[in-house]
A and B are shown apart, each in its own frame.
Chain A
Amino acid sequence: MDTTRREFLMVGSKLLIMTAATASALEHVIAGTPEAVTTYNMADHWWAMLIDVDKCIGGGQCVRACKTENDVVDEPMYFRTWVERYHINMADPDHPIVDSPDGGINGFSEKYADGDGKTFFVPKMCNHCVDSPCTQVCPVGATFRTNDGVVLIDKEYCVGCRYCIQACPYGCRYLDPRSHTADKCTLCYHRLTKGLIPACCEVCPTGARQIADLKNPADPIHEYLRTHKIQVLKPQMATGAKVYYNGLDGAVR
């Protein structure tokens, strides 16, 4: 591909500006005041996640990337995201057999023969609910929903009572044994505010996980939602979950 000098200068200067802007944005994000980032306007975004169950191959890259990117405790009971394998025997469809060895971090070994019912993978994570029960119950308001639709935790303020962990219907929260505060998926907020996508989406080899900005008219999510049958987990909980699943089986809890 030929690049003219003009194009090169345009792209180059944009990159230079972005690097500086990114550095300044990072400074604010680290300081805990992402709203002060000049290059990122909260009011312009409304974040959600799209998960295509049929595309997930259960490789566990997302789990590994999440643990690394977010410094999640490396033990099998602390996950910001994990992958479950559902197996449904057609003779007994009401009782799915589910496993998630080490949260699926190392993928799954073969267990079910072809033709023996149906087997599929379901990545799980915080649903960044609009009416989140976890933020409702926090006694000090240390966990909250940002104006761009992400549920976060202020670790400097969390008292570690674990009420939010009890209140989450999806099992997405845990108490970080190092900080003694609640912890969960942030949708890689530190990356979003720099114009990057969450680590799990970045590494997914099949594109089963897609970050979506519902306020961005150019985001392909709108077309996707229009043309696909979408479901959220436990809709009866009325939490306003924003992780949208395509191809979600009714047996998934």
Chain B
Amino acid sequence: MPGVDGFMYPNEVELQWSVLIVLYPFITGLVAGAFILASLERVFNVQAVKPTYRLALLTALAFLLVAPLPLQLHLGHPERSFEMMLTPHTTSAMAMFGFVYLWYLMVVLVLEIWLEYRRELVLACRRSTGLMRVVYWILTLGSDNISPAALRIDDRVGHIITIVGIPSAFLLHGYVGFIFGSIKANPWWSTPMMPIVFLFSAIVSGIALVLLMYLVTSWMRRVHVDMLCVDTVARYLFYAFLVDFALEMIDLIHRIYEADESFRALDFMVKTRLFTSQIVLQIVLGTLVPLALLASTQLARLSERARVRLYLMAATLTLVGIFAMRWNVVIGGQLFSKSFLGYTTYKMSFATREGLLPAILLMLLPFGILAALVKLLPPWGDVPRAPVVHGR
């Protein structure tokens, strides 16, 4: 059979989960990571990252709104997907997605953003006229008390929500890892490390995305970047990445040393069909190079310009690397036979329901949503527009 080496069970020849299912953990990971970065400022009071706080929240929301779309597009019967909420099968990890998602979207993210912006929404409502006034009035939910006492309550509730939000973000992405990690039939997926590796790679990708968004939006708005802020964010990226890399290496070393019945098949797959995406893109270009770039900014005294460039490169490569990691998990997990006797090929189509084109559009969509959100809820309030004082 074309595309098949060795022996596959006949029903295994076609891949079940396409590039859209690669996007799903990638996007939810970005959400969880961006939120965790935002909560650093709020809960742990890291003032240096404050300029990214609101941007991180809006980025998380933009991506979270898109997160279920690739799943819907992939389903054989998307019109029945609501049954998961109405009649969830309690033993199914997947059935919990709707609840985890809604909890995170409505209880954590939307509420936190609303409380954060409530004062400005009220002021904007008073200021504007016509349609925008109605829009802002709806966004205030009719709550126009912005007395200091009311704002203090907002702040306090916001603080509590962030505290609830951190385990929720862990839950969201740890849960996505569990969807794969709990499949005992698939040795490439089945490891209790999966939720933890997913979680840390999520934090890494979210921080990298917010760093990138902050640098790009600063450049677009022609304002100086707050170097203390980006240095701090980059440092967190470096630390989180080190932990993530260590976890992945523990998993890898464990697999190699244990060398169970699946090892030979998986080892062969990594050295052949997954070589480019796993070794080249994920490990070398997507992990070792950004780690080296970030380490160089920690070790050497570099100019601001040089640092910003290195951060840009490191964040971009990190995102490529984490995307490759999701690809290798989802697609890699389907390229070998559960008989361990053969391999199949993933043939990605282009302009079909599960092809490359919808995947690209789905990846662009959150940026469009983010642009609209930024227009409606400007996140730059606290950022000085004039050249900043460096090393505050």
List, in ascending order, chain A residues with CB within 8 A of B337's CB: 171
- Select A96's contact among B12, B89, B91, B341, beta carbons within 8 Å: B341
| Distance, CA A175 to CA B75, complexed state (A) | 11
B83 contacts A163, C-beta separation under 8 Å: no
CB A146 to nearest CB in B, in angstroms, measures 16
| Distance, CA A166 to CA B94, complexed state (A) | 12
List, in ascending order, chain A residues with CB within 8 A of B338's CB: 169-171, 253
A76 contacts B1, C-beta separation under 8 Å: yes
Give the A interface residue count (CB, 8 A).
44
CB-CB under 8 A for A137 and B183, given A159-B77, A170-B338, A253-B341: yes
- Select B11's contact among A77, A157, A159, beta carbons within 8 Å: A77
Contact with B along A143-168 (1 / 0, CB 8 A): 00000000000000111111101111
B7 contacts A100, C-beta separation under 8 Å: yes
B88 contacts A103, C-beta separation under 8 Å: no
| Distance, CA A210 to CA B95, complexed state (A) | 37
CB B291 to nearest CB in A, in angstroms, measures 32
A98 contacts the other chain (CB 8 A): yes
B245 contacts the other chain (CB 8 A): no
B76 contacts A138, C-beta separation under 8 Å: no
B147 contacts the other chain (CB 8 A): no
- Select A160's contact among B77, B88, B95, beta carbons within 8 Å: B77
| Distance, CA A157 to CA B80, complexed state (A) | 7
B41 contacts the other chain (CB 8 A): no
B339 contacts A172, C-beta separation under 8 Å: no
CB-CB under 8 A for A137 and B77, given A98-B341, A99-B7, A171-B339: no
A180 contacts B11, C-beta separation under 8 Å: no
* Chain B, interface residues (CB within 8 Å), range: 35 or more
| Distance, CA A124 to CA B334, complexed state (A) | 20
CB B174 to nearest CB in A, in angstroms, measures 17
B9 contacts the other chain (CB 8 A): yes
With both beta carbons as reference points, the residue of chain A lying nearest to B92 in the complex is identified as A139
With both beta carbons as reference points, the residue of chain A lying nearest to B9 in the complex is identified as A171
With both beta carbons as reference points, the residue of chain A lying nearest to B94 in the complex is identified as A139
| Distance, CA A165 to CA B9, complexed state (A) | 12
- Residues in B336-355 with C-beta less than 8 Å from chain A: 337-341
B92 contacts A133, C-beta separation under 8 Å: no
List, in ascending order, chain B residues with CB within 8 A of A133's CB: 183-185
With both beta carbons as reference points, the residue of chain B lying nearest to A137 in the complex is identified as B92
With both beta carbons as reference points, the residue of chain B lying nearest to A183 in the complex is identified as B11
B13 contacts the other chain (CB 8 A): yes
- Residues in B63-105 with C-beta less than 8 Å from chain A: 71, 74-78, 80-81, 83-84, 87-89, 91-95, 97
Grouping DSSP codes into helix (H, G, I), strand (E, B) and loop, the A interface class, with mixed when no group exceeds half, is: loop
| Distance, CA A140 to CA B338, complexed state (A) | 25
List, in ascending order, chain A residues with CB within 8 A of B71's CB: 161
With both beta carbons as reference points, the residue of chain A lying nearest to B15 in the complex is identified as A162
Contact with B along A100-120 (1 / 0, CB 8 A): 101100000000000000000
B145 contacts the other chain (CB 8 A): no
Q: Can you list 12 A-B contacts with CB-CB less than 8 angstroms, sorted by A residue number?
A: A76-B1, A79-B10, A79-B11, A96-B341, A124-B9, A133-B185, A137-B92, A159-B75, A163-B179, A171-B10, A171-B12, A180-B77
List, in ascending order, chain B residues with CB within 8 A of A173's CB: 11
A141 contacts the other chain (CB 8 A): yes
A121 contacts the other chain (CB 8 A): no
B16 contacts the other chain (CB 8 A): yes
CB A225 to nearest CB in B, in angstroms, measures 26
CB A174 to nearest CB in B, in angstroms, measures 4
B183 contacts A167, C-beta separation under 8 Å: yes
| Distance, CA A168 to CA B83, complexed state (A) | 22
List, in ascending order, chain B residues with CB within 8 A of A100's CB: 7, 9-10
B77 contacts A237, C-beta separation under 8 Å: no
B83 contacts A159, C-beta separation under 8 Å: yes
CB-CB under 8 A for A158 and B77, given A76-B10, A124-B9, A137-B94: yes
CB-CB under 8 A for A157 and B83, given A137-B93, A170-B9: yes
B341 contacts A159, C-beta separation under 8 Å: no
List, in ascending order, chain A residues with CB within 8 A of B74's CB: 161
A161 contacts B185, C-beta separation under 8 Å: no
CB B325 to nearest CB in A, in angstroms, measures 19
| Distance, CA A167 to CA B94, complexed state (A) | 12
B316 contacts the other chain (CB 8 A): no
CB A74 to nearest CB in B, in angstroms, measures 13
B76 contacts A78, C-beta separation under 8 Å: no
B17 contacts the other chain (CB 8 A): yes
A139 contacts B95, C-beta separation under 8 Å: yes
CB A53 to nearest CB in B, in angstroms, measures 16
B80 contacts A140, C-beta separation under 8 Å: yes
A163 contacts B76, C-beta separation under 8 Å: no
List, in ascending order, chain A residues with CB within 8 A of B179's CB: 163
List, in ascending order, chain A residues with CB within 8 A of B17's CB: 162, 166
